[in-house]
Amino acid sequence: MMILRPIQQDDYQDLLIMAEESGHGFTSLPLNEELLQNKIARSVQSFAKPTEKAGDEGYLFVLEDSETGEIAGTCGIEAAVGLDDAFYHYHLSKVIHSSRTLGVYKAVDILTLCNDYTGATELCTLFLKEKYRQKYNGKLLSKSRMLFINQHRQRFADTVIAEMRGVSDENGDSPFWQWLEEHFFSMDFPTADYLTGIGQKVFIAELMPKYPIYVNLLSKEAQQVVGEVHSNTRPAIELLKSEGFTFNGYVDIFDAGPTVEAKVDNIRTIANSSLREVVIADNPGEQAVLVANQGLQDYRAVVIECEYNDGEQHITLSQATADALKVKAGERVSVAAL
């Protein structure tokens, strides 16, 4: 059984392996041992911290194979971005150049540096090992965070965002960054990406162009990747779109990958979820259902196949599933059909 749970200090080696496997462009898993240790420590502290509002908390989860004990993947939530360090995006919009006298009218795309998502909750750090990219594992990693946010609303903002990895090649080179590097920086994309991942963002404010960038002045290669995702990220963005997340013109300042957003109440997994009382018994079936307990530090989530009907007040779990979720008969769990 695959079980999602909060990360612990002894998961460090597994997190390091995933940081190595994730490659360039995955800034939330920097290949830096001290920073990875700090991410785990911060997550443990965040789960233990009493709070009634979104702050600087960062929650990190891992997906564990209960049969082997192997960590299959990880995912995270940032409660409120940009409160300590500036959170930059480019916003893609249009300006109009027109002259009635000359009969000229032209709409031009521009990229404007902004901090519009300051204070938003961010879904981040989703990585699943290649051999586990099957069946429901990706959905469990992604959607379990949504149930966690719903159950602990006071810890999160009303707007939820997710930054999608932009286009880069096998060497980690981004066509968008190559244009920026040529005109404003003397630093390759992997280096800039790594510095951002370890929190050294001052160079962004110092060197990034302050005025809007006309998209038609970019190289053809750079123009083609604005708002596009890395091939490995397509399943993730399609899942988020199915949840009601939309792209509103905000792109990453390094690789121009899209950022998508949704209001908490409009996220489909949250809107379609319910609290149900646990009944312990065998319940064979074919409906895939996401089930999560209501814990904080002991949060658990699984996907099961069972008989599932809308409108019922209870859900029947096997003893093994109840044990994995750390719940007993009569307690309530959050459920959402996949």
The residues assigned a catalytic role are 230
Residue 107 CA to its chain's centroid (Å): 33
Contact between residue 18 and residue 316 where contact means Cβ atoms under 8 Å apart: no
From CA 83, how far away is CA 25, in angstroms rounded? Answer: 23
The DSSP result for 112-133, as a single string, is EEE-TTTT-EEEEEEEE-GGG-
From CA 34, how far away is CA 36, in angstroms rounded? Answer: 5
Of 183, 204, 182, which Cα lies nearest the Cα of 192? Answer: 204
| Residue that the structure tokens 């093994």 belong to | 320
Of 291, 323, 319, 325, which Cα lies nearest the Cα of 305? Answer: 291
Q: Which residue type is seen at 35?
A: L
The DSSP result for 238-285, as a single string, is HHHHHTT-EEEEEE-TTT--EEEEEEGGG-HHHHT-EEEEEEES----
**What does the DSSP 8-state code read for residue 85?**
S
| Residue that the structure tokens 């007040």 belong to | 313
Give me the torsion for CA of 70, 126, 296, 137, rounded to 10°: -50
Residues 6+ apart with CB under 8 A from 184: 207, 208, 209
Rounded to whole angstroms, what are the CA distances from 66 to 111, 321, 335? Answer: 47, 11, 21
